Structure 1
Amino acid sequence: MTNPPTGRLFRVGEKHDLVLTRTFRAHAEDVWASVTESERTARWFGRWEGEAAPGRTIKIQMAYEEEQPWMEARVEACEPPMRLAVSTTDVNGVWRMEFLLSEVDGVTELKFVHHLQTVEGVGDIGPGWEYYLDMLVASRAGTPLPEFDSYYPSMKPHFEGLVEGLAEG
């Protein structure tokens, strides 16, 4: 059974942030390694190659997408073990994302933030991020990886409702 969606949408000036969280019984350094070390990102998202440093571009192979395509990601900020900011560019434009980690008493919260240019398509984007973050959870726990069909289209109404809630608020 897939967990319920965690995604929330916040207005930030003229733009919006899509925020999803996961909690781990682990130190921030260990969770950080899961989102920054190629052999560990390969378990839930895809392996990467290149020199990862602020201002540098790396190549990531999307291991769980059809045909396992490569994409480029620019490292905008890297502040171990608390903040990683990256951006990618594709046919839909620029995608700006951050991983923000905070630890209290050996429990780390990972906050994933997708800085949206527009809320158009959030119903399609949000379920994908839920899927990938649950892939991270499963890869760390050594449990079976989830199936994307458990996320999309069933979670689409949740994310579309977030947009509607902004319009009403």
Structure 2
Amino acid sequence: MTPTPTGRWTPTPTGGDVVVTRTFRAPIEDVWASVTESDRTARWFGPWKGEGRPGGTIQYQMIQEEGAPWSEATIEVCEAPTRLALNSPGAHLELLLSTVDGGTELRLVHHLPNADAVGDYGPGWEFYLDALVASRDGTPMPDFNDYYPSMRDYFTALAPAQG
């Protein structure tokens, strides 16, 4: 399988954002549950445990990464069912959900201080959101090797070189 990259880079005053979007034929509350309930995140990203509230700290496991490491994040914003913002070392993320055409659009926004790592993060988020789609549709999980390094050049070309 050769997935097509869909993400984009948006410059910001503090760096830039990698934005990857998927649309689901499902109610917003159901998609929200897929990205916030530990038993459902375990199906595509990994489980989490801890204080699932604004200001709370969670530990999450990235099951698709080598060694399936556990990491820590602080929940900055949790506005069900439309916005979740997390901050962890190296990752400031937002999941933004909206109702569109009878379904739900999910935008994953990874705020970066500069464009240096866009070629590494973009393919990973494409992979994880396709894994979310597969977990919801009951289709086979994607293979990370189909995303990286093949999408690296696409994402690197989106962002200007840092000077």
Q: Which residue of 1 aligns with 2:108?
A: 112
Q: Which residue of 1 aligns with 2:32?
A: 32
Unaligned runs of 5+ in 1: none
Unaligned runs of 5+ in 2: none
In 1: Cα distance, 2:83 partner to 2:134 partner: 22
| Letter in structure 2 aligned against 1:83 | R
Q: Which residue of 2 aligns with 1:2?
A: 2
In 2: Cα distance, 1:101 partner to 1:133 partner: 13
The residue matched to 2:86 in structure 1 has which SS?
A: strand
Q: Which residue of 2 aligns with 1:80?
A: 80
Residue 51 of structure 1: CA displacement? 1.6
- Pick one of 145, 154, 166 that aligns with 2:141: 145
In 2: Cα distance, 1:48 partner to 1:142 partner: 21
In 2: Cα distance, 1:2 partner to 1:34 partner: 25
Q: What do the CA deviations read for 1:22-54 (whole angstroms, capped 9, x no partner)?
A: 000001000000000000000000000112000
Aligned length, in residue pairs = 162
In 2: Cα distance, 1:117 partner to 1:54 partner: 23
Tell me the TM-score normalized by structure 2.
0.95
- Pick one of 122, 125, 129 that aligns with 2:125: 129
In 1: Cα distance, 2:61 partner to 2:113 partner: 24
Q: What do the CA deviations read for 1:46-96 (whole angstroms, capped 9, x no partner)?
A: 00011200001001111111111110011000000000000111xxxx311
In 2: Cα distance, 1:78 partner to 1:88 partner: 15
Q: Percent identity?
A: 59
Residue 19 of structure 1: CA displacement? 0.5
**Structure 1 outlier segments of 4+, above 2 Å:** none
| Letter in structure 1 aligned against 2:157 | G
In 1: Cα distance, 2:3 partner to 2:24 partner: 15
| Letter in structure 1 aligned against 2:16 | H
Structure 1 vs Structure 2 CA RMSD: 1.3
In 2: Cα distance, 1:82 partner to 1:15 partner: 24
Tell me the TM-score normalized by structure 1.
0.92
